[in-house]
Amino acid sequence: MIQENRSVAFHTLGCKLNFSETSAIARLFAEKGFVKKDFSEAADIYVVNTCSVTENADKETKLIVKNALKKNPNAFVAIVGCYAQLKPDEIAKIEGVDVVLGASEKFKLLNYINLSQKNTHAVIHNCEITEVNTFVDAYSSGDRTRSFLKVQDGCDYSCTFCTIPLARGSSRSDTIENVINNAKKIANLGVKEIVLTGVNIGDFGYGKVIEVDGRKKREYTFFDLIKALDEIEGIERFRISSIEPNLLSKEIIEFVASSKKFVPHFHMPLQSGSNTILKKMKRRYVKELYEERVQLIKSLMPNCCIGVDVLVGFPGETEKEFNETYEFLNKLDVSYLHVFTYSERENTEANEMKDIIPIVTRKQRNKMLRILSAKKLHHFYSQNINTNHSALFEQENKNGFIYGFTGNYIKVKLPYNEALVKESVQIKINSFDEEGEMNAGLLNEFFSI
């Protein structure tokens, strides 16, 4: 039996979805009387939620476990999440690990806790990923200004470089009713912004099929979901996390442009600006469609922030094809890039492909696009100088300043004022400072401390 007042600490690697799930697991511990501690502190239990995308995941996990056990050598250590599903045997060999839980077991962690003594060998609990077919809802709370709300999980796409379907299983999603209920719970916590998260959120509703006039159709879609969320009271902002360009429909873009609460910010993975490489990746669009989406967004929301995922060094990516990607992105009206360097992943089609790109070339291409990203971001920020926005401020005091984000994802700062913490206020963006950060000013008298 677990004693009261035991402590637990969490460390999360990877995406917003992982953060939402870690928070959900933390609430299960809180319900059993556990005290949550910072991961840098001594705790009775350490939980590491891993990521399959993280490079050198094994090395990183080893270091995290080693540092945790320095705080409490007798602590119970649980490794959960995507990497735990993909490489359970590898993780089980890490010294000090007590239990490894895959995709279907991580939310049952409390069933596997043993605080009487550490396990001699790590115990593995996971199943074949094809058996993972249930959706478990989650949302983050307590430690951030915004909440990450999980609405979808898994993926039915078969991109040749990606292990996420192997780590999370097939596409499945929550019901609109339950998403609405969770959004209301988040609103009751005083959170003002919700970020919708999932593996492939544009696929929301997949699998719920009904027949109308003799034709099969989805019972509900992502478009239906965002229309329903737009009516929720107590939440000022909804933000859509990464969404596939082929699933970001014209009706979704037009809705966000006229929405009361959905902010002008999209993150669309591109991966490559070469149709040849996109085909090898088994992406479900061509670059012309991507460009059409960007043009429509900007025509309806000129100040919209558009983020892009791009992958360099894919097998067979010639210098010409990389330059095609560079030039495509250079002319495209996007705001920033998340640049990833291709790395080999077991059990993927790309891992069997020939014409491997040398590591040094991959790094050079990565550096070129990161420089381009910095230029894109600076240009986007410059376009917004002398414009007015609503900004939601974080709680940390950084060298006498408080930072916040506008709806279109511009990071701004003001002299620190405790009354601004977690508040959404009207500001005007004034200028860049010497560090390249955006200075802002309050547009009207704010309430006193």
Q: Tens-of-pLDDT digits for all 449 residues of the chain?
A: 455 679 999 999 888 899 999 999 999 999 999 999 999 999 999 999 998 876 677 788 889 999 999 999 999 999 999 989 999 999 999 999 999 999 889 999 999 998 888 888 899 998 888 888 889 999 998 766 899 999 999 999 999 999 999 999 999 999 999 999 999 999 999 999 999 999 999 999 866 666 667 676 677 899 999 999 999 999 999 999 999 999 999 999 999 999 989 999 999 999 999 999 999 999 999 999 999 999 999 999 999 999 999 999 999 999 999 999 999 999 999 999 999 999 999 999 999 999 999 999 999 999 999 999 999 999 999 999 999 999 999 988 898 999 999 999 999 999 999 999 888 899 999 998 877 889 999 987 654 44
Contact yes or no for 152/189 (Cβ under 8 A):
no
Domain covering 388-442 assigned CATH 2.40.50 in the classification:
yes
Query: What pLDDT was estimated at residue 445?
Result: 62
Query: What pLDDT was estimated at residue 257?
Result: 98
Look-up: residue for tokens 């939440």?
Answer: 235
Distance CA 335, CA 93 (A): 43
Query: What pLDDT was estimated at residue 123?
Result: 92
Sequence-distant (≥ 6) Cβ neighbours of residue 46 within 8 angstroms:
8, 9, 10, 11, 39, 65, 68, 69, 75, 76, 77, 78
Domain covering 292-383 assigned CATH 3.30.750.200 in the classification:
yes
Residues of the chain with CATH 3.30.750.210: 133-263
CATH fold of the domain at 133-263: Transcription Regulator spoIIAA (3.30.750)
Both tokens assigned to 44: 């009775």
User: For every residue of 210-248, which 3-state class applies, written as one string?
Assistant: EEECCEEEECCCHHHHHHHHCCCCCCCEEEECCCCCCCC
Classify the C-alpha dihedral 86-92-94-99 as positive or negative: positive
Distance CA 89, CA 175 (A): 35
Q: What 8-state DSSP symbol labels residue 340?
A: E
Query: What pLDDT was estimated at residue 145?
Result: 83
CA distances from 317 to 59, 190, 281, 358 (A): 28, 48, 11, 11
Residues of the chain with CATH 2.40.50: 388-442
Distance CA 89, CA 50 (A): 14
Residues of the chain with CATH 3.40.50.12160: 7-127
Both tokens assigned to 111: 């069933």
What is the pairing mode between strands 424-432 and 388-393?
Answer: antiparallel
Burial class (CB in 10 A: 0-12, 13-18, 19+), 415: exposed
- Residue 432 pairs with which residues in a beta bridge? 438
Residues of the chain with CATH 3.30.750.200: 292-383
Sequence-distant (≥ 6) Cβ neighbours of residue 331 within 8 angstroms:
none
The torsion angle over the Cα atoms of residues 243, 248, 253 and 255, rounded to 10 degrees, is -90
Query: Options 2.60.120.1090, 3.40.50.12160, 3.50.50.60, 3.40.50.10330; which CATH number does 7-127 get?
Result: 3.40.50.12160
Query: What pLDDT was estimated at residue 1?
Result: 46
∠ CA 445-447-448, rounded to 5°: 110
Distance CA 35, CA 5 (A): 6
